[in-house]
């Protein structure tokens, strides 16, 4: 999964923060949407592999390469994430 591989190293994370700082709020919004996409793609991968009942938030975060705090910035619970996936699938 290319989007996850990008966020795996500390050097990339440092460069990423510098990039955001240089470009201001518009870039921060783009980054926010990119992270949201990472969570959604990771959730789909976990669902395909294990099914709804067997996916844990910890597994999902490991798949996405993101922290618990980042996840909860976007979704208050795993159930809210799956609601968002369902809405996107129906759109």
pLDDT tens digit sequence for 66-75: 888 888 888 8
Q: What is the CA radius of gyration of the chain?
A: 14
Q: Check if the beta carbon of residue 84 is closer than 8 Å to that of residue 46.
A: no
Residue whose tokens read 């990008």:
6
Q: Check if the beta carbon of residue 60 is closer than 8 Å to that of residue 39.
A: yes
> What does the pLDDT look like over 3-58, one tens digit per residue?
444 444 455 556 666 666 666 665 666 667 788 888 888 888 998 888 888 888 89
Q: What is the pTM of this model?
A: 0.65
Structure confidence at residue 1 (pLDDT): 40
CB atoms within 10 A of CB 3: 14
């Amino acid at each position: 999964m290319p989007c996850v591989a990008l966020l795996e190293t500390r050097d990339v994370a440092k460069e990423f923060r510098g990039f955001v700082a240089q470009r201001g709020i518009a870039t921060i919004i783009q980054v926010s949407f990119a992270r949201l996409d990472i969570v959604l793609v990771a959730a789909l991968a976990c669902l395909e592999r294990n099914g709804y009942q067997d996916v844990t938030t910890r597994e999902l975060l490991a798949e996405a390469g993101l922290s618990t705090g980042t996840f909860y910035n976007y979704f208050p619970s795993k159930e809210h994430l799956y609601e968002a996936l369902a809405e996107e699938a129906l759109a």
